[in-house]
Structure 1
Amino acid sequence: MGSLVPFQDLNLCPEPPQTATIPTSSAANTSTSVTGTTAFTFLTPKIEPKQEPFDEPTPTQTVHQQEDFIFSVSNSAPDFIPNPETTPPANGSSSADDQSALYSEYFRISELFRSAFAQRIQKYGDVEVLDPDSRAIVPVPEQSQLTSLTGPTDSSHPEPALSVVVSRKKAGRSNVLVRVSNLGIQDQRHFRDLVRRTRLIYDALRILAVSEEEKRTGAGHGRRARGDLRAAGVMRDRDLWLNRDKRIVGALPGIEIGDVFFFRMELCVVGLHGQIQAGIDTLPASQSSSREPIATSIIISGGYEDDEDSGDSIIYTGQGGQDKFGKQCMDQKLEGGNLALERSMYYGIEVRVIRGLKYENRVSAKVYVYDGLYKIIGCWFDVGKSGFGVYKFRLSRIEGQPEMGSSMLRFAESLRTRPLSARPTGYLTLDISMTKEQVPIFLYNDIDSDHDPIYYDYLVKTVFPVNAFGQGSNGTGCDCVSGCTEGCFCAMKNGGEFAYDCGGILLRGKPVIFECGNFCQCPPTCRNRVSQNGLRTRLEIFRSRETGWGVRSLDLIQAGAFICEYTGVVLTRDQAEVFKMNGDTLIYPSRFSERWAEWGDLSRIFPEYVCPSYPSIPPLDFAMDVSRMRNVACYISHSSSPNVLVQCVLYDHNNLMFPHLMLFAMENIPPLRELSIDYGVADEWTGKLSICN
């Protein structure tokens, strides 16, 4: 049983309010609307928000990036063009009411203008009046603009056929404050799946946007492609941002402590933090029932000289009084975000804390980690290191929460460099592959005396039957000496497009991917040689009380990145029947769920989107014996909501009957979080794969 509790009317505080409870016992009830606080509208002075360090473009740069955002998903998919002139800002700023009034006045004047002069205007063709009830008129665009939006016009109809209407302002963020509590297991799974699906779409759009930008400008040339901004704009236009219909105080359903985000815009998309750059997210005073602002989340990145972060305790400096270079040049005032934090302290309202950390990766300058809920236990005015007065807030982490994600990142770094110093006991071996892999694979057990993985021969690559290399291997390949390019022979084998971007990230899942093989002239660094280059992520096999043996990463794995191959000895149907009689351990690839179809699925963006069906592959009619030889992938646990997908790949032969089983990340996987696959069939009692016949 779950509850969406309308937040208390702060006018009644500090006495405990009587709250109404709305049951959400199943996923079907989670969309119940909640009515809460009443919005009061009045003008407030403009307050400069506390800006985070410029690791990402400023809002002004964001507009320029959005203006450049024109790319096509595929030859069969439509273009999507976020229009900065008609799309309001993504953040709920304190000037939202002024913008709303401006839009209302615009449409009112437009209606008066249309009523008085519509016939004359239409006669001379200055503007196009679409509908008597449209309540808006706009100039007819130039022919060049029409071509860019709709393609060439019909020569038999010289008059432009397209009419453009200035879209009305989309609804901003809600002023309804709620707290979600007492979620059942089914509700937790529902919200987690909802967040995962949203992040899948975001990652697919972002990766595709960067890939299209690289096609136009070339990899590594020009300014860095801002696929994060483009993806967020498209999703906002299609109302795919989460938690816009309510403001959630406290923990967000579907967001787990330790979740990692590469971009600030993704925080906005999932509703964890609603400001594009400001470090304090608030419900403005103009939208609060008490006419006082309330803080809901903060981001701390260590970029301010008076901040002190010791993990469970934080001294957080307020906003205001800074120049354009981020230097304190005047005293701060108790207003805006500062007042919101002070009021949250007064009413005992917890805030979500997200830490921005520098982390070496190919995607962004830093990562953002959700570290849980904190209480504001103190507020005072002090003289900062710059000599000017600043407001300081002491935050204390609420007890009983899982380990902080930022702590796990630092601990994983120490394990990669000094494993025996970080964990003196529990290691059975520091490389179970015996240097067969490019990176070592740890084996760790601090629970019991089980050493089972040591007794298997480590198998780096799958062993196929000899006849697999004789069928379908025509000895042909591409002639790309310096690396494959669009339109080469291998691209045509994949349906005219490569499966990976220039960074080796999977663009979208397919029934099978043809990588460059032995007969190709391209080098090992070719963009179409990703999974065949082997394991690059540092993994650890560990013993768990919940799942038995499992696998986790010591590195942060980006969504869409290759992890490893699922290896074994391939058996034909007849061979598998013989092995079954001896009770040997077999894996049946045909039972793996087709999670590859979810990666890159843009059906919620484009209704006409069709899942790739080419290149096609016949049903997998073979088994894999892992009873004597196996690799790290065989210890990955089963989950109905996995973070790893199985993608079929061919490179050393072209026999569609026997593909390689390659594993890719379905989401950003933080270090030390367990990897999981949907095996399709799991043991009823343990939730583990039942591989023993």
Structure 2
Amino acid sequence: MGSSSMVPFQDLNLCPDLPTTSSTPLIPKIEPKLEPLDEPLTSPTPLHVSIPYPSSSPSPSPSSAAGGAGGGAGGGDAGLLSQYNRLGELFRSTMAQAQALQGNGDFSVLPDSDPDSRALVPVPDPEAHLSSVILRPRGARKYQTRSSELVRVMDLKPEDERYFRDLVRNTRMLFDSLRVFAIAEDDKHKDVMVPHRRPRADLKAAQVLRERGLWLNRDKRVVGDLPGVSIGDVFFFRMELCVIGLHGQAQAGIDYVPSSQSSNGEPIATSIIVSGGYEDDEDAGDVIVYTGHGGQDKHNRQVVHQKLECGNLALERSMNYGIEVRVIRGFKYEGSASGKVYVYDGLYRIIETWFDVGKSGFGVYKFKLVRIENQMEMGSTMMKFAAMLRTRPLEARPKGYVTLDLSRKKENFPVFFFNDIDGDHDPIYYEYLMTTVFPPYVYNCGSTTGCDCVGGCMDDCLCAMKNGGELAYDLNGILVRGKPLIFECGPHCRCPPTCRNRVTQKGVRNRFEVFRSRETGWGVRSLDLIQAGSFICEYAGVVLTREQAQIFTMNGDNLIYPGRFAERWKEWGNLTQIFSDYVCPAYPSIPPLDFAMDVSKMRNVACYMSHSSSPNVLVQLVLYDHNNLSFPHIMLFAMENIPPMRELSLDYGVAEEWTGKLAICN
């Protein structure tokens, strides 16, 4: 098709049928291959708040906003509450006008005239990439459209990989923080919301990020692996895939470059979602027979023949040019926030396509995809393997298990101990601790007053006031945002054990495995998928004063110093990129931690976590069984969605001269 006969680009999903003329060619209306298990996207329910958002102020630059919450003191009850109310009003004003987020299909194509279309392209400059993320002032409605330029990113240096990984990680953390906050706001106002209407907190979070220009990979279309996304990464929401640019369609299963933006008028597919919900799909893992889109009714039944157009044609053209596509698998998952999960499984090539009669008797296009070799193990495979380990560990791995419960039935779930590298069985010789052992005098300090919430705590109870006027967790036990200290309900409170403000004291909720690693020494991984913001476990040991610690150090004992853990809690719920005047929570405040924990004889699973400068676990200080501010519990929460079998890591911080080893077990 010559450029003179092309029509200006428009959203094909909304394009009316045009008469076919010599000057105006017919543009087919897209019938996206929808995921059958997805509910239709609807305008999200606005949040209800009483305090109006103040006049907007200039947004911070990305460079000043990146890397954690801003400093600053103050806050207090009123300051902390106003931050929540201002965010709530932002959601309300934004979502009142929000529409269902759908990918607009504004893609580009690799030119037909370029025989080496898969050649190496320069890696985008990180600073240039950051400068493309423009923080628009409140009220802006001009969204950054997706670029028509296709690139492939290759041969990244280690520092580049860390940069992109942190960029994706921070964006996902911001998405999760906004989503969790939206859920908490909905919970507070559920009595005035429309009955039986499920709030779409993921849409609210995505819309706010879109209005702030924080969706990633809009300035370039990446073919192949997306920098910062690893095979096996897990997502709970389709909108999160759109936010980071892994798959740009909110519901369509084929993400592709439409011909309307192509230099030669041919579409190119860049990613697909395989859900297993289509009757003619066949998924054997490394080999997929994928059914094209079109011809289905609202019940996902094939009722007419498919056509070689739109996404179907894009897949055929990708096969013709030898262009790989990203494959994301979606499937139901018990315990997921959305009822299902999406796992990035790597790159596939389309090697064959044909027109066939489907099970319903109508013609469908089929595409055979084969996974490219020498990639990491598929995330979906690891999730199935972990599921087998949870129920039949010795059948899944006959060799390597030293014990199937390192905790000796002290934890809610057994802690496996696996070592197939050497004969080191050291962890079985320590006494397992469920929780930290404090000196007796710690329990004789502070107030003994508790709340009177017989039926369960609300935001106006005494314990909520101690936390700055808001409970720290949503109804699902997810941390709303990190704070210097969290007060949970304790033995002096009248609320029941099911109270939402009793999260960390209930113990672990996941199955963990201590394992031997050639890279990190000892390590810990979960056999369950851990959702971002979820409680993991306590970092347990026997508490020592500074003076006692100095003596123990001289004896060569293994000590942990909570005061040196990096303050990663500031990153969870950090809204610097949303509010220019955001202040990191400073209430409740506590004195500097001046104690150590002896783990030389007694310890728990947390003591085997390895150190990382880009961890997936954060430390959150919590009080519940006493009120001595100088001796909080060291509680661990997930900073991101942690897939099964992925190693858990902490930022142990920088060791002082007297603290000894940085990480005791590595």
Identify which range, 603-612 or 370-379, moves more after superposition.
603-612
Does residue 55 of the first structure (1) align with residue 14 of the second (2)? no
How far residue 240 of structure 1 moved from its aligned partner, in angstroms, is 0.4
Q: Percent same amino acid at aligned positions?
A: 67
How far residue 220 of structure 1 moved from its aligned partner, in angstroms, is 12
How far residue 171 of structure 1 moved from its aligned partner, in angstroms, is 3.4
How far residue 70 of structure 1 moved from its aligned partner, in angstroms, is 5.6
Q: Distance in 2 between matches of 1:690 and 1:484?
A: 38
Q: 1:264 to 1:643 in 2, by over 3 A?
A: same
For residue 397 of structure 1, the aligned residue among 367, 371, 375 is: 371
- Look up the match of 2:405: 431
Task: After TM superposition, list the pairs within 5 Å mapping 1:179-578 onto structure 2.
Answer: 179-217=152-190, 222-472=196-446, 474-578=447-551
2:521–2:665 CA contact under 8 A, matched in 1 = no
- Look up the match of 1:68: 46
Does residue 45 of the first structure (1) align with residue 56 of the second (2)? no
Deviations 1:124-177 (A, max 9, x none): xxxxxxxxxxxxxxxxxxxxxxxxxxxxxxxxxxxxxxxxx9966433111000
Q: Distance in 1 between matches of 2:569 and 2:361?
A: 57
Task: After TM superposition, list the pairs within 5 Å mapping 1:108-147 onto structure 2.
Answer: none
How far residue 573 of structure 1 moved from its aligned partner, in angstroms, is 1.1
Q: Distance in 2 between matches of 1:281 and 1:288?
A: 15
Q: 1:364 to 1:86 in 2, by over 3 A?
A: closer
Q: Distance in 2 between matches of 1:319 and 1:456?
A: 58
Q: Distance in 2 between matches of 1:220 and 1:562?
A: 31
Q: Distance in 2 between matches of 1:233 and 1:396?
A: 35
Task: After TM superposition, list the pairs within 5 Å mapping 1:29-44 onto structure 2.
Answer: 44=27
What amino acid sits opposite 1:80 in the alignment?
Answer: L
What secondary structure sits across from 1:80 in the alignment? helix
Q: Distance in 2 between matches of 1:588 and 1:167?
A: 47
Q: Distance in 1 between matches of 2:144 and 2:336?
A: 35
For residue 662 of structure 1, the aligned residue among 635, 646, 656 is: 635
Deviations 1:617-648 (A, max 9, x none): 11000000000000000000000000000000
- Residues matched between the structures, number: 579
Deviations 1:331-381 (A, max 9, x none): 110000000000000000000000001110151121000000000000000
- Look up the match of 1:630: 603
How far residue 69 of structure 1 moved from its aligned partner, in angstroms, is 5.0
2:47–2:185 CA contact under 8 A, matched in 1 = no
Q: 1:84 to 1:503 in 2, by over 3 A?
A: closer
Q: Distance in 1 between matches of 2:254 and 2:486?
A: 45
Q: Distance in 2 between matches of 1:679 and 1:189?
A: 18
Q: Distance in 1 between matches of 2:577 and 2:339?
A: 30
2:143–2:210 CA contact under 8 A, matched in 1 = no
Q: Distance in 2 between matches of 1:175 and 1:393?
A: 25
Q: Distance in 2 between matches of 1:85 and 1:584?
A: 59
Does residue 673 of the first structure (1) align with residue 654 of the second (2)? no
What amino acid sits opposite 2:314 in the alignment?
Answer: A
Does residue 80 of the first structure (1) align with residue 80 of the second (2)? no
1:357–1:366 CA contact under 8 A, matched in 2 = yes
Q: Distance in 2 between matches of 1:353 and 1:287?
A: 23
TM-score (norm 1): 0.80
How far residue 692 of structure 1 moved from its aligned partner, in angstroms, is 8.7
Q: Distance in 1 between matches of 2:217 and 2:182?
A: 25
Q: 1:585 to 1:345 in 2, by over 3 A?
A: same
Q: 1:169 to 1:615 in 2, by over 3 A?
A: closer
Q: 1:92 to 1:437 in 2, by over 3 A?
A: closer
Structure showing greater Rg: 1
Instruction: Show structure 1 runs of 5+ residues with no match.
Output: 1-9, 12-40, 98-164
How far residue 610 of structure 1 moved from its aligned partner, in angstroms, is 1.0
How far residue 223 of structure 1 moved from its aligned partner, in angstroms, is 2.4
Q: 1:313 to 1:607 in 2, by over 3 A?
A: same
How far residue 599 of structure 1 moved from its aligned partner, in angstroms, is 0.5
How far residue 324 of structure 1 moved from its aligned partner, in angstroms, is 2.0
1:530–1:562 CA contact under 8 A, matched in 2 = yes
2:539–2:606 CA contact under 8 A, matched in 1 = yes
Q: Distance in 2 between matches of 1:252 and 1:385?
A: 35
How far residue 273 of structure 1 moved from its aligned partner, in angstroms, is 0.2
Deviations 1:194-241 (A, max 9, x none): 001001100000000011011101699732221100000000000000
Q: Distance in 2 between matches of 1:234 and 1:252?
A: 23
1:594–1:646 CA contact under 8 A, matched in 2 = yes
What secondary structure sits across from 1:195 in the alignment? helix
Identify which range, 674-683 or 243-252, moves more after superposition.
674-683
Over the aligned positions, Cα root-mean-square deviation in angstroms equals 2.4
2:568–2:619 CA contact under 8 A, matched in 1 = yes
What amino acid sits opposite 1:279 in the alignment?
Answer: G
What secondary structure sits across from 2:451 in the alignment? coil
1:682–1:690 CA contact under 8 A, matched in 2 = no
How far residue 74 of structure 1 moved from its aligned partner, in angstroms, is 4.4
What secondary structure sits across from 1:370 in the alignment? strand
What secondary structure sits across from 1:75 in the alignment? helix
How far residue 54 of structure 1 moved from its aligned partner, in angstroms, is 3.8
How far residue 326 of structure 1 moved from its aligned partner, in angstroms, is 1.3
What amino acid sits opposite 1:573 in the alignment?
Answer: R
What amino acid sits opposite 1:504 in the alignment?
Answer: G
1:584–1:692 CA contact under 8 A, matched in 2 = no
Q: Distance in 1 between matches of 2:435 and 2:94?
A: 49
TM-score (norm 2): 0.84
Deviations 1:178-208 (A, max 9, x none): 0000000000000000001001100000000
- Look up the match of 2:104: 93
What amino acid sits opposite 2:35 in the alignment?
Answer: E
How far residue 438 of structure 1 moved from its aligned partner, in angstroms, is 1.1
Instruction: Show structure 2 runs of 5+ residues with no match.
Output: 4-23, 52-79, 109-137
Q: 1:373 to 1:682 in 2, by over 3 A?
A: farther
Q: Distance in 2 between matches of 1:434 and 1:229?
A: 44
What secondary structure sits across from 1:180 in the alignment? coil
Q: 1:68 to 1:661 in 2, by over 3 A?
A: same
Deviations 1:18-47 (A, max 9, x none): xxxxxxxxxxxxxxxxxxxxxxx9872212
Q: 1:451 to 1:84 in 2, by over 3 A?
A: closer
Q: Distance in 2 between matches of 1:43 and 1:176?
A: 25
Deviations 1:419-465 (A, max 9, x none): 11111111000001100111100000011111010111111111111
1:261–1:267 CA contact under 8 A, matched in 2 = yes
